[in-house]
Amino acid sequence: MWLKIFTILVVLQSSFLLHGLAQTGPPRPNPTITRIRPRPSLIPPGIKLMPRRPNNDPGPLANRDRILFITQELKRNITYDPLGYTKTWVGDNYCLFKGFFCDVVPDLNITGLSSIDFSGARFGGPFLNFYRFIRNLPDIAIFHANSNNFTGVINRNINKLRFLYELDLSNNKFLGGFPGYVLGANKLAFVDFRFNTYNGSVPYRLFNIDTDVLFINNNGFAGRIPQATFGNTPALYITLAGNKFTGPIPPTIGRAWRTLREVLFLRNRLSGCLPFEIGYLVKATVFDANSNILTGPIPQSLGCLFSLEILNLANNQFYGAIPESLCRLPDVYNITLSNNYFTQIGPQCRKLVTAQRLHVQGNCLPGFRLQKTAAQCATFFSKPRSCPRANTFNYVPCTLPTAANKAVVTSVEDMVPPSPRSETERKIHVRPCHLSLHGALFSKLIRVHFSKNHLLVNSDKMDNAGL
């Protein structure tokens, strides 16, 4: 019983903290994306929940002395506290400290510290060691510290935090290589390292961890995105934007068709041609690869992205015809192909241009305003251009929509790529479906409803800030 209550409260705290994350993250201008669906209610009728904070006398507190000691140490090291967090860190009841949230610890059956939310606190000080602090919070499930000045190295013992499943260290002062020991914390479902100074390659095992949300944008990560494992990710939301990744988008991306909803590759140094396997992502609503060095025609398979709402391939070197099937997708409302070298556009796509849902300025399209000069287009096409696996660009792994009908997939298994998992699993007939809030209430997937808008807003912020 206590385990169920703890799970419900931690999920609810997660939702409130994610809302805070979106509001107190790195400063952003007003978002330009206006189509944001209302958030569903988290609390089903009839469920009676405990308060988020115990009363002034909660009785025994788990690890009281240890948590009080490390909190007072952190308090001494904080030399700048504009929002007055530390002035509340007095007394013996840490559940009343600002930024601290308590609940009953399932395996101890007493009240303990379940969540920390320092997002937007803007703590300052020369010795704000994140790992020394969190390692002394043995019952922590959620740790959000967006926009502070935390530093330090994440140690291997982070996997001993038995409940930790959300870790947000975005917009701090972490540096060095990817914190590989995080991969040992096998319950992490939310990983956010945005806006730090991490560099080097990312480990191939990163895309094997069982996480719903993976934000590593706006660091200095470089090298190729791991080809073999990228498609293994079970994440719903991935952003690799604002780094220095090179090489092609891995063809294995198609293996993520069961889960992947939004993926951001923008503002890297990716090159090569788009893999046709992108067309397998039948649940994807956002695909953004703008501002890279990608080239080639758009694969016809992208017309199979039946859930797609936003596609951004601007500021690359794509050429050829804009696929009509892309412009017939039922839910798409923003396609940005500006500043490429497209030369052909059909009647359905022309309608979207007129409706300002398709943006094609800065191309080589006859009869359209704000195109490249004839000399610029001639210079580009004077060099031979080709893509590997050229025969795949006309491959369509689905039944495409026509002018009169919406797309129909008669058998999902007919269009999905082989799974990297066991042969037994391959024999199971799986169909994509929409998440049910009622069915997801007691699972970690509930947080996805709150991370979606956050991911889109940050995509806007990066675009508008020129990051």
Tell me if 415 is assigned to some domain: no
Three-state SS for the chain is: CHHHHHHHHHHHHHHHHHHHHHHHCCCCCCCCCCCCCCCCCCCCCCCCCCCCCCCCCCCCECCHHHHHHHHHHHHHHCCECCCCCHHHCCCCCHHHCCCEEEEEECCCCEEEEEEEECCCCCCECCCCEHHHHHCCCCCCCEEECCCCCCECCCCHHHHHCCCCCEEECCCCCCEECCCHHHHHCCCCCEEECCCCEEEECCCHHHHHCCCCEEECCCCEEEEECCCCCHHHCCCCEEECCCCEEEECCCHHHHHHCCCCCEEECCCCEEEEECCHHHHHCCCCCEEECCCCEEEECCCHHHHHCCCCCEEECCCCEEEEECCHHHHCCCCCCEEECCCCEEEECCHHHHHHHHCCCEECCCCCCCCCCCCCCHHHHHHHHCCCCCCCCHHHHHCCCCECCCCCCCCECCCHHHHCCCCCCCHHHHCCCCCCCCCCHHHHCCCHHHHHHHHHHHHHHHHHHHHHHCC
Query: Which residue range forms the structural domain that includes residue 235?
Result: 2-404+437-465
Binned at pLDDT 50, 70 and 90, residue 408 comes out as very low
Which one is predicted more confidently, 3 or 272? 272
Tell me if 321 is assigned to some domain: yes
Q: Write down the pLDDT at residue 400.
A: 61
Q: In the predicted model, what is the mean pLDDT of residues 94-115?
A: 92
Tell me if 427 is assigned to some domain: no
Tell me if 410 is assigned to some domain: no
Domains identified in the chain, total number: 1
Q: Write down the pLDDT at residue 160.
A: 87
Tell me if 450 is assigned to some domain: yes
What span, in angstroms and rounded, lies between the C-alpha atoms of 105 and 425? 36
**Which CATH number does the domain housing residue 264 bear?**
3.80.10.10
Task: Give per-residue pLDDT as tens, 34-49.
Answer: 333 333 333 333 433 3
Strand partners, 403: none
Tell me if 31 is assigned to some domain: yes
Binned at pLDDT 50, 70 and 90, residue 401 comes out as low
Q: In the predicted model, what is the mean pLDDT of residues 246-266?
A: 96
Strand partners, 27: none
Q: Write down the pLDDT at residue 274.
A: 97
Q: 233: closest CA among 191, 180, 179?
A: 191
Q: What is the mean pLDDT of the chain?
A: 79
Tell me if 398 is assigned to some domain: yes
Task: Give per-residue pLDDT as tens, 410-422.
Answer: 344 445 444 333 3
Task: Give per-residue pLDDT as tens, 318-359.
Answer: 999 999 999 999 999 999 999 999 999 999 999 999 999 999
What span, in angstroms and rounded, lies between the C-alpha atoms of 56 and 311? 52
Q: Write down the pLDDT at residue 456.
A: 35
Residue type, 7: T
Q: 299: closest CA among 313, 284, 314?
A: 313
Q: 336: closest CA among 358, 352, 363?
A: 358
Tell me if 241 is assigned to some domain: yes
Q: Is the pLDDT of residue 455 over 70?
A: no
Residue showing tokens 């990297």: 420
